Amino acid sequence: MKKVTFEKYHCMGNDYLVYDPNKNEMELNEENIRLICDRNFGVGSDGILAGPYLDQEKMYVKILNPDGSEVPKSGNGMGIFAKYLKDAGYVQKTSVSWMTISGEENVFYLNEEGTRVKISMGRPSFWSDEIPVTGERREMVNQTMMFGKIPYVTTCLSLGNPHCVIWMSEISKDQVCRIGEHSENADYFPEKVNTQLLNVLDRTNIQIEIYERGAGYTLASGSCACAAACAALRLGLADNNMYVHMPGGILEVEIKEDGTVYMVGEVGHVGTITLGNEMTEKLRAMQVKK
């Protein structure tokens, strides 16, 4: 039986498993992804980065949530995968690009080891039909929404994935979990939503708590940090360059005059994980029969 291996990385405590299909034979599906990501019965992670798939002109990467769903964007995931490509010898240049379901992604290495990366996150859209949010087309800035029968003033946007930002003077894990349990699957959001509670410390420092769709409470998220920064700038609460403080660490976000968002983060390699025979057999039994 061929061993199944993962490389584990983290970016500010936001941890991912990299599953390289060129080195493994097992197929990933919703059922076995749930078990792999389970922190008690599996390996444990905030998601899986599957790739690189090399049968196209450009590399393709699947960003998989712990519930098995594929998502279009993960800032921290992009930084982690870029580090893996350098570690595994796929890349020797100072930048790398690949495709996801949201299109082309670009990452720039800021040091030779690939532990510090700059990631292009695209431009935000606050338009309801592009996020998406139900109802007539409108900009989702300072819009009141009901979550768990409680009204909140929200600013919603897309950075390739949907975000709902709620500005508060005090934020906590308990608050974001309480709100996120309702907002993630609220009827407003046909594709679900990432929820961030935003506290503005000053014009160059903001603080957030995060509840990610398909993952729940998260110590850090690159796309959520960038979304919160875009919301803070749009609301006139912060400048173009800011530090986003999260329980897992601090992320630098830069928003250019044309609206393009860049984030800078630190990536760490935890180690190589080789599954035992019992776990491997259990996962293989979960594969879709063809």
The answer on pLDDT for 284 being more than 90 is no
- What was the pLDDT predicted at 1? 62
Residue 138 counted as an annotated binding residue: no
- Is 199 known as a binding-site position? no
14 assigned ligand-binding residue: yes
SS (H, E, C) 22-38: CCCCCCCCHHHHHHHHC
Residue 222 marked in a binding site = yes
SS (H, E, C) 100-114: ECCEEEEEEECCCCC
Q: Is 76 annotated as a binding residue?
A: yes
185 has binding-site annotation: no
The pLDDT score that the predictor gives to residue 39 is 95
Question: Above 60 in pLDDT, residue 218?
Answer: yes
Closest C-alpha among 1, 31, 69 to residue 286: 31
The angle that helices 277-285 and 30-37 make with each other, rounded to 10 degrees, is 150
Distance of CA 136 to the CA centre of its chain: 28
Residue 288: is its pLDDT beyond 60?
no
d(CA 280, CA 283): 5
Report the percent of the chain where pLDDT is more than 70. 98
Confirm or deny that 142 is annotated as ligand binding: no
What's the CA gap between 43 and 275, in Å, rounded?
A: 9
Tell me whether residue 75 is annotated as binding: yes
| pLDDT confidence bin for 290, thresholds 50/70/90 | very low
pLDDT, tens digit, for every residue of 243-255? Answer: 999 999 999 999 9
The type of residue at 47 is G
pTM: 0.84
Q: In 10 A of CB 40, how many CB atoms?
A: 5
With beta carbons less than 8 A apart as the criterion, state whether 35 and 43 touch. Answer: no
Domains in the chain (CATH in brackets) are: 3-119+266-286 (3.10.310.10), 126-258 (3.10.310.10)
Residue located via tokens 């594969």: 287
Answer yes or no: is 213 a known binding residue: yes
Is residue 97 marked as binding?
A: no
pLDDT tens digit sequence for 51-79: 999 976 789 999 999 999 998 888 899 99
pLDDT per residue as tens digits for the range 34-51: 999 999 999 999 999 999
User: One-letter amino acid identity for 212?
Assistant: E
Collapsing DSSP to helix, strand or coil, 62 comes out as strand
The model's pLDDT over 150-191, given as tens digits with 9 standing for 90+, comes to 999 999 999 989 999 999 999 999 999 999 999 999 999 999
